[in-house]
Amino acid sequence: MSQTGNDRYYNPTEIKWITWQQIGKLLPSAKTSVLVISGRSAMRKQAETLQAEILKDHEVRLLSGVSSDPSILSVNAALETVRKIQPDWVIALGGGSVLDTAKAASLLASHPGDVHDYLRGERKVTHAGIPVIAVPTTAGTGSEVTPYASITDHERMTKLSLSHDYLFPQYAVLDPQLIYSLPAKQMAISGMDALSQAIEGYSANASTPVTDALALQAIRIILTNLEPAVRHPEDIAARKAMLNGSNLAGLVISNARTTAVHAASYPLTVRFSVPHGMACGFLLPGFIEYNEPSLEAEKRSALLRCAQVESMTELAGVVKELQRRIGLPERLSEVGVTEQDIDTIVAGGFRPDRVGNNPRKVTESALRKLLKEVL
């Protein structure tokens, strides 16, 4: 059982394995107001098809061009649109950034103030917002089943998370055809994020028997399918498996949360523009070894059996080799980080909620050492 007393597993999102063209059956039969939110270019055609054809019996508006890195400014812009339209439902069609933006804007549309107020604790969420149908088009964040929305505060140069049970989407639609054309690099980056979430959630203080079971299955699926999904985009089975693995990892962190890997990854993204999954990949192998002494023997054995390795050191090596084989950089210096930048990363990587969820206490000197080892 968890060391921090996490005594529940809760996830109200209904997961549907249907095609995106079947979304209409999730809406009320009577005419209803719908806002479809999508990214800057990807999925715009699908969003237009939803409006013109699939949901033609409903009143559908489109919000495209959502930022790939949600900030307080960009989420507030989406929030303003949602408040103006006041739809009955929101359909979020895109990667984690689109889903997080839609979730935050849909929840806060019926609340006063802006996203800044809630991220900094100046206002509190008091009631549910507009129901969201989340349709992921990448295999990484698992945002379609989590109660979080990650948002960058550029003023403070940090990434923050809006967190509340009311952020859970009403539905998650898992349609693998939406990731068949995902570029190999994006598949690699998002897949590494999913793997990191599964491994972090498994070792987290807030883990439970339910999250452990989900995490082991996610780890097995991702370790088996990420490389073929990246190197052979035509491998439909591998890509479908990655979508399911990512979803399982999302179900893990929806309750167990993430740990020091994610905490330390955020300054790499905010200050050095390193894609989130890539940033996690730099730190994950080191923390696998670092956390070994604090992982219960039974849990450690189950993890090693799942990964088909003999030791945590070997598992860390498997993750490193996987990164190399899917074309991700292995050293921080490859993305422009220097030894002089380490203190900046350390200073920005001590998010109390995530570092405190790490199974082994993380000190500044320990994090600095881990970062230097991958420099």
Domain boundaries, the chain: 18-173, 183-373
pLDDT value, residue 1: 41
> Which pLDDT belongs to residue 3?
47
| Nearest-angstrom CA–CA distance, 38 and 41 | 8
Task: Give dist(CA 128, CA 164) in Å, integer.
Answer: 10
Residue 268 corresponds to which tokens in the numbers above? 């790499």
Pick one of 3.40.50.11810, 3.20.130.10, 3.40.50.1970, 3.50.50.60 as the CATH number of 18-173.
Answer: 3.40.50.1970
Residues with Cβ within 8 Å of 370's Cβ and at least 6 positions away in sequence, in order, are: 264, 283, 286, 287, 290
Whole-angstrom distance, CA of residue 224 vs CA of residue 27: 36
- Strand 89-94 versus strand 158-163 pairing type: unpaired
Low-confidence ranges of the chain (pLDDT < 70): 1-5
- 3-class DSSP state of 92: strand
Do residues 264 and 349 make contact, with C-beta atoms less than 8 angstroms apart?
yes
pLDDT digits (tens, 9 = 90+) for 17-26: 999 999 999 9
Name the phi and psi angles at 133, rounded to 5.
-105, 110
Nearest one of 309, 316, 295 to 373, comparing CA atoms = 316
Q: How far apart are CA 62 and CA 141, in angstroms?
A: 23
CATH says 183-373 is which class? mainly alpha
Identify how many contiguous H helices and E strands the chain contains and give both numbers: 14, 8
Task: Provide the token pair at 1.
Answer: 């059982």
Coil, strand or helix at 94: strand
Strands (E), 127-278: 132-136, 148-153, 158-163, 171-173
Question: From CA 15, how far away is CA 134, in angstroms rounded?
Answer: 10
Average pLDDT, the chain: 95
Under DSSP, is residue 222 helix (H, G, I), strand (E, B) or coil?
helix
Judge contact between 238 and 232, C-beta under 8 A. Answer: yes
